[in-house]
A = this chain, B = another copy of it.
Amino acid sequence: MRESTIEGPRWLDPREQTAWRAYLDMNAKLSARLNREMQDQSGISIADFSVLVQLSEHVDARMRVLGLARALGWEKSRLSHQLTRMQQRGLIERSNCNEDRRGAFVVLTDQGRATVEAAAPRHVESVRRYVFDSLSAEQVDSLGTISATVARVLAAACEGREDVDDGSCD
């Protein structure tokens, strides 16, 4: 995102400009690349993978929809659509909940488990290759600190609007 030559109040200074552009650029390239490799190597998207990982970490590979949404930091509607697609591809199943009949469980299928177990090590390799292999230990820590700082600011920006049900304010 070039910021144009239009003048506004409190424009970004040159170092900020540089950093911001580099960040946007890296981000676009990195997410595109990781998604493509996941698709090519394992036949699933990063979104699929995230859901499968959450489920596989749970006893019985069984979670309530809302718990899953919160764990992922996703909006419930987004998750619902995602689950529909994953169910069609045989990665998960839905089963209804007797304690609260509004609710539903999401269950990992055998195929889902096999898929995520095959995908995980390859994905780690990709992340390592594209990100961590070229960063120093200090840079890794720095990235973590910066990310956590910005994430905290964003979380704080959501205080005051408690009517949200999506994951943008956790």
Contact = CB atoms under 8 A, between A and B. Distances in A.
A145 B139 contact: yes
Interface residues of A, number: 73
A55 to B, nearest CB: 10
A49 B1 contact: yes
* Number of copies of this protein chain within its complex: 2
B135 A149 contact: yes
A137 to B, nearest CB: 7
Interface of A: 1-6, 8-12, 15-16, 18-20, 22-23, 25-33, 36, 46, 49-50, 53-54, 56-57, 73, 116-117, 120-125, 127-135, 137, 139-151, 153-155, 157, 167-168
6 contacts: A2-B54, A4-B53, A4-B56, A6-B120, A22-B143, A26-B148
